[in-house]
Amino acid sequence: MSDEKSKTNTIKQRRVDVYLPSLEMKEKWSEIADERGQSLSKFVIETVENTINNTEEDFESRRELLQENRDLKEKVKDLKEEVEMHKKSYEKVQDELKEHRAKEFTPSVTNREYTEELVDLLRKREFVRFEDIYDELNIEPSDTEMVKAFQEQLKALEEYGLVEEKNRGWRWKG
């Protein structure tokens, strides 16, 4: 009982009155304390002690963390822009490649070289449906110039007796 008596005797000495700027702040702190299963007094003590204990060398101030966060957000923004630029460049190169392939097989060209991907696809699969050719060669069916170019190639291969058209597809005869 002497322990309780000494606590009671020192209550006035240990007491700290804090006046918060608003009732809303007190309510907010009380809610946080309740969520943590603590009294408001215990919540304030722990929060203040944690702040004091975190003033060691490895502790970064809030200002430093906010600045680092801003810097990282800026870097992410820059990287996103760079990725978008590379993506557009890649798409442009792909379009140019398709145009180049299509030009090789337009009717005005007499010396035709067949796209290796097309010949390899037909050889490996022996039979390929029309729509699978476009999927496998990454050709958009809406790209009429590319579709026409590959149809020209297929017709030429058929004339040479290397492929034949069968049931909505092409069969390799080799």
Contact, 108 vs 145, CB < 8 A? Answer: no
Residue 150 lies in a domain: yes
Residue 7 lies in a domain: no
d(CA 7, CA 41): 16
1-35 pLDDT per residue, tens: 555 567 777 877 888 888 999 999 999 999 999 99
Confidence category of residue 108, pLDDT binned at 50, 70, 90:
very low
What is the count of structural domains for the chain? 2
> Which position has the token pair 């809303």?
24
111-137 pLDDT per residue, tens: 345 578 888 888 888 888 888 888 888
Indicate whether 167 and 115 sit together in one domain.
yes
> Which position has the token pair 């700027």?
21
d(CA 97, CA 104): 11
Indicate whether 100 and 165 sit together in one domain.
yes
Structural tokens at position 3:
């322990």
154-164 pLDDT per residue, tens: 888 888 888 89
| Dihedral sign computed on CA atoms, order 157, 163, 164, 168 | negative
Indicate whether 102 and 45 sit together in one domain.
no
Structural tokens at position 57:
């060398």
What is the domain range of residue 39? 20-55
Indicate whether 102 and 47 sit together in one domain.
no
Residue 26 lies in a domain: yes
Contacts of 23 (CB under 8 A, 6+ apart): none
Indicate whether 159 and 101 sit together in one domain.
yes
